[in-house]
């Protein structure tokens, strides 16, 4: 399969375009996504191509955006609901957690809800409190909704195509700091990245690093720097937070004996806590060191101040410090 070098946002745009061309049931609804193409230009050019009935500009009402998606999905369409920033998703929590995630179960399978909720998440872009939040743990906790996070342009496209084709709701979180920073090859032609399957992006023998989204990008950089220090770190890109590829996680820990979990959300009750619990319950006898988490501080969100934001954010330097701490145990 031929490859082309693209950015993360281009992978997302290509997936939307190809799926809308493939399936007339697919439409996108969100704020400013029409002629403007969205605040990050994820839908740039699609309004002119597909028109206002399939690229629908919505008011600033996240609960309505998701509610429209649920109703449309229950009646056979394939909506993609864009939440402008993940920080704004909370007004739609009731629609997502109590309706979309539970409808299939509630109706004994009579009403599937094949919809996608796209949301740019994470900090490091100078967005301050209301444009920098990580909300994955909140929704990964809810049974009935899948949660996926791409970290490469190829997976940005492949995971979104899988999410659109899935029979029930998928929360698709986009690491916005990496929209144009992360570049890589995207296969040409139709392909999908399976939901629920992790990827070992760097094989190693001394310890395992588990990360996703932007943190996977930084984890790879830190692992390469650690190699210069004689530490051979394996990096696992989770890609799917729910369902989690537990076998891949446990296989890596059983191979290396050490686990470093990286996520940019607050450390307390963050997604990494569930990974730590899984590893301690299922692979305790394989561990030869305590599980280490590198995560954001327990503050409300990343500050506007760039020096304070840099302190708040997990980066290559802080991950490398975690690697060295764990490797020295």
Looking at the fold, whether 170 and 290 belong to one and the same domain comes out as no
pLDDT band, residue 3 (cuts 50/70/90): confident
User: Parallel, antiparallel, or unpaired: how do β-strands 240-242 and 146-148 relate?
Assistant: antiparallel
Tokens 């686990």 — which residue?
A: 259
Tell me if 192 is assigned to some domain: no
Q: Does residue 198 register a pLDDT over 70?
A: yes
Over residues 45-63, the mean pLDDT reads 96
Per-residue model confidence as pLDDT tens digits over 237-251: 999 999 999 999 999
Cα gap 5→123, rounded to integer Å: 25
Domains: count for the chain: 2
Looking at the fold, whether 183 and 208 belong to one and the same domain comes out as no
- Directed axis angle between helix 246-256 and helix 271-282, to 10°? 60
Tell me if 19 is assigned to some domain: yes
Q: Does residue 306 register a pLDDT over 70?
A: yes
Tell me if 154 is assigned to some domain: yes
Looking at the fold, whether 277 and 229 belong to one and the same domain comes out as yes
Per-residue model confidence as pLDDT tens digits over 115-152: 999 999 999 998 988 999 999 999 999 999 999 999 99
SS (H, E, C) 234-295: EEEECCEEECCCHHHHHHHHHHHCCEEEEEEEECCCCHHHHHHHHHHHHCHHHCCCCCEEEE
Tell me if 194 is assigned to some domain: no
**Range(s) of the domain holding residue 130:** 3-187
Looking at the fold, whether 155 and 260 belong to one and the same domain comes out as no
Tell me if 83 is assigned to some domain: yes
Please give the pLDDT value at position 268: 96
Average pLDDT for the chain: 96
End-of-domain residue from the set 160, 187, 214: 187
Burial of 315 (0-12, 13-18, 19+ CB in 10 A): middle
Beta sheet of 233-237, edge-to-edge order: 199-202, 233-237, 207-211, 259-266, 292-296
Please give the pLDDT value at position 4: 72
End-of-domain residue from the set 148, 164, 187: 187
Per-residue model confidence as pLDDT tens digits over 240-292: 999 999 999 999 999 999 999 999 999 999 999 999 999 999 999 999 999 99
The domain spanning residue 36 has which CATH number?
3.40.50.970
Q: 308 to each of 249, 302, 303, 312, 318, how far by Cα in Å?
A: 33, 8, 6, 6, 15
Looking at the fold, whether 164 and 268 belong to one and the same domain comes out as no
Tell me if 115 is assigned to some domain: yes
Cα gap 89→259, rounded to integer Å: 32
Q: Does residue 1 register a pLDDT over 70?
A: no
Cα gap 162→150, rounded to integer Å: 12
Burial of 26 (0-12, 13-18, 19+ CB in 10 A): buried
273-276: which pairs have CB atoms within 8 A and are 24 or more residues apart? 274/137, 274/140, 274/244, 275/210, 275/244, 275/249
Cα gap 278→250, rounded to integer Å: 8
Looking at the fold, whether 145 and 34 belong to one and the same domain comes out as yes
Q: Report CA torsion sign: 41, 42, 48, 54.
A: negative
Over residues 169-179, the mean pLDDT reads 97
Tell me if 203 is assigned to some domain: yes
Looking at the fold, whether 135 and 7 belong to one and the same domain comes out as yes
Over residues 9-32, the mean pLDDT reads 98
Token digits of residue 184: 């890589």
DSSP 8-32: HHHHHHHHHHHHHHH-TTEEEEETT
DSSP 204-215: -SSEEEEE-THH
Looking at the fold, whether 127 and 167 belong to one and the same domain comes out as yes
Please give the pLDDT value at position 302: 87
Percent of the chain residues past pLDDT 90, beyond the cut: 93
Tell me if 23 is assigned to some domain: yes
Q: Does residue 24 register a pLDDT over 80?
A: yes
Please give the pLDDT value at position 65: 98
Looking at the fold, whether 168 and 216 belong to one and the same domain comes out as no
Catalytic residue positions, numbered: 131
Per-residue model confidence as pLDDT tens digits over 84-109: 999 999 999 999 999 999 999 999 99
Looking at the fold, whether 149 and 67 belong to one and the same domain comes out as yes
End-of-domain residue from the set 120, 152, 187: 187
Looking at the fold, whether 210 and 310 belong to one and the same domain comes out as yes
The domain spanning residue 273 has which CATH number?
3.40.50.920
Q: Of 71, 72, 169, nearest to 117 (Cα)?
A: 169
Question: Is 301 within 8 Å of 128 (Cβ atoms)?
Answer: yes
Looking at the fold, whether 138 and 242 belong to one and the same domain comes out as no
């Amino acid at each position: 399969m031929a490859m082309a070098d693209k950015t993360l946002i281009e992978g997302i745009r290509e997936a939307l375009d190809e799926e809308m061309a493939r399936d007339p049931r697919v439409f996108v609804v969100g704020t400013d996504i029409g002629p403007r193409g969205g605040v990050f230009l994820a839908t740039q050019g699609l309004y002119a191509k597909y028109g206002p009935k399939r690229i629908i500009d919505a008011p600033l009402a996240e609960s309505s955006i998701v509610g429209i998606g649920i109703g449309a999905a229950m009646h056979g369409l394939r909506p993609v609901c864009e939440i402008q920033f993940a920080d704004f998703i909370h007004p739609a929590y009731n629609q997502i957690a109590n309706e979309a995630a539970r409808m299939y179960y509630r109706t004994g399978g009579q009403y599937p809800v094949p919809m996608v909720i796209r949301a740019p998440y994470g900090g490091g872009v100078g967005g301050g409190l209301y444009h920098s939040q990580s909300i994955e743990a909140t929704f990964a906790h809810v049974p009935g909704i899948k949660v996926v996070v791409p970290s490469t342009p190829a997976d940005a496209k492949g995971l979104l195509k899988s999410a659109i084709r899935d029979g029930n709701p998928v929360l698709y979180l986009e690491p916005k700091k990496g929209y144009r920073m992360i570049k890589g090859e995207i296969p040409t032609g139709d392909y999908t990245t399976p939901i629920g399957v992790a990827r070992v992006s760097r094989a190693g023998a001394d310890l395992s690093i588990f990360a996703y989204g932007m943190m996977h990008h930084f984890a790879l950089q830190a692992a390469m720097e650690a190699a210069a220090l004689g530490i051979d770190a394996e990096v696992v890109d989770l890609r799917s937070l729910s369902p989690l590829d537990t076998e891949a996680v446990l296989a890596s820990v059983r191979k290396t004996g050490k686990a470093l979990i990286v996520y940019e959300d607050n450390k307390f009750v963050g997604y990494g806590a569930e990974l730590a619990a899984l590893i301690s319950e299922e692979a305790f006898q394989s561990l030869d060191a305590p599980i280490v988490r590198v995560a954001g501080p327990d503050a409300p969100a990343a500050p506007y101040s760039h020096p304070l934001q840099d302190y708040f954010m997990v980066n290559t330097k802080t991950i490398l410090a975690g690697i060295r701490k764990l490797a020295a145990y």
